[in-house]
Structure 1
Amino acid sequence: MNNSWHPDCFCCDICQAVLADVGFVKNAGRHLCRPCHNREKARGLGKYICQKCHAIIEEQTLIFKNDPYHPDHFNCNNCGKELTADARELKGELFCLPCHDKMGVPICGACRRPIEGRVVNAMGKQWHVEVCECFSPGWILFFVSALNKAWCVTCFSCSTCNTKLTLKDKFVEIDLKPMCKDCYEHLPEELKRRLARRERDAKDHLNLQVTKK
């Protein structure tokens, strides 16, 4: 950089952390600490930053307690196996998919999350009691049909922010779950492009199947 600095003056251009002892990375003419450099790079690539090692998550992401991580930072709480992005959270602990399935934990037919307490059985499925205000024993009084599924009106909500939705609201399908328009707009641009591409591919496949018939 062809300049001389007092050690205490040589700081990250974003967070102002002193760089003399930790090193720096040049980024678009700026000197940045590595965490800030990784965040800037991840933002440009539309990727997540691991909340444990603070490096960019290049491939699969494990979401644990609403934060993104590299899956291999964790091990199954039951068998000790290194986890993948298919891991499941139960009572604040992470389990590999085979161990989770062996536990026989019922899955709510609306939100697809494990049911840890009381269970309501209706329409051939199991449901959370606490989140379904419209349930009386054995009956569903109101439901909506969306994404090729029947939803309790109380459970039909954004899978990210839990805002209640109606069929009049704008929402998108992410992994067979509804996401409100506001949450979708806050997704990384690269992720939105991948989702749009996946939706186009699915429609092309469906059109191909119809043509073959």
Structure 2
Amino acid sequence: MKLAAELKDFSTRLGYDFKSPEYLIRAMTHSSLSSPAREDNQRLEFLGDRVLGLVISEALLDHDPNAPEGLLAPRFNALVRKETCAEVAQQIDLGLALKMGRSEMISGGRRKQAILGDAMEAVIAAVYRDGGFDAARDLILRLWGDRVQNAEADARDAKTTLQEWAQARKMPPPSYKDVGRTGPDHAPVFQVTAILADGRSASAKANSKRQAQQDAAKKLLSELDDD
């Protein structure tokens, strides 16, 4: 089985040469294009999520042998969450090679965070099925790069930290106000303001409300540190 040009180019960007190209074809097929004769990537996504979890768990243990489970868990979550998988997918231009239905493509599916994250997990599974665990581990550690070393900082939950800051000063928990939404439906931008009971606030924009809240809390924490 031969790969189309865009999949060959993606395989080069991925840095892995498939012995059985059908694994990559399946990993790059979105459910909007599936048919009885063409399997989509959902089953591979299921497997890839587990392979990623095992590799990241092992990498975190090796990186910090003395860290207790209570510290490892949030670092793990930061590294395997869908947003991180989508970031990795974007850095290798995975979206350019995705196969999807016309309506999904028109609605911006190649840039959607959930689709990119799922496809990245499917690609991991494709490499695992094609080359074994060592090949999948090498791929993950190479693509995730410094994220494992930086996991402690990435795992810091800004909303929780801001709430703890307020509680330590006997203040009510901070509130989050939805300020607005811009952009098309397939690529919305949300603006959220984090507000303390004493009136201090900070705003941030992101592609999801959850991320906008986190970014607003992080920004407000930074301003509090400056004070």
Same fold (TM over 0.5): no
More helix by share: 2
TM-score bracket relative to the smaller structure: under 0.3
TM-score by length of 1: 0.23
More strand by share: 1
